[in-house]
């Protein structure tokens, strides 16, 4: 897939991330793409729902499975503004996603390259192609601005 396509879908994930700011959640957004169409969207809603599992990726994967009517998303790509945590990386593997594209590393909880590499762990039954660093600066700025305001 062309880099411009990745950027286009990552911009959609950034739009989702900005929605999280409306309810004081960490601005992380995600979209699931299949055949050039977005079939699932999500943004962090942990604070809004008081649910520690309401991460952008989890909500986007759930929406994509509902839209497609399938539990396996073998040809789909998940676009996330930040590196997925262990929960979200695990859900990506369980959903059998083809690819994960993310913007910025998460050095505290990242489960692709920062702390672990669950997305490509050879002992698991599925491995996912990963493309990091798409719109890195924009994704990083959104997060850093959010955390600066908290301090």
Catalytic residues: 57
Q: Enter the DSSP assignment of 55.
A: -
Identify whether the C-beta of residue 43 lies closer than 8 Å to the C-beta of residue 116. no
Identify whether the C-beta of residue 45 lies closer than 8 Å to the C-beta of residue 70. no
State the Cα–Cα distance between residues 5 and 36, nearest whole angstrom.
Answer: 9
């Amino acid at each position: 897939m062309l880099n411009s396509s990745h950027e286009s879908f990552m911009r959609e994930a950034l739009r989702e991330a900005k929605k999280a700011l409306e309810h004081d959640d960490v601005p992380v957004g995600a979209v699931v793409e299949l055949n050039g169409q977005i079939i699932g969207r999500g943004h962090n809603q942990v604070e809004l729902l008081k649910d520690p599992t309401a991460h952008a990726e989890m909500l986007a994967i759930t929406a994509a499975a509902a839209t497609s009517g399938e539990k396996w998303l073998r040809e789909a790509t998940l676009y996330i503004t930040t590196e997925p945590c262990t929960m979200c990386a695990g859900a990506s593997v369980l959903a059998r996603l083809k690819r994960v594209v993310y913007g910025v590393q998460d050095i505290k909880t990242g489960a692709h390259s920062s702390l672990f590499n669950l997305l490509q762990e050879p002992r698991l039954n599925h491995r996912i192609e990963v493309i990091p660093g798409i719109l890195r600066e924009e994704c990083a700025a959104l997060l850093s601005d959010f955390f600066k305001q908290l301090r």
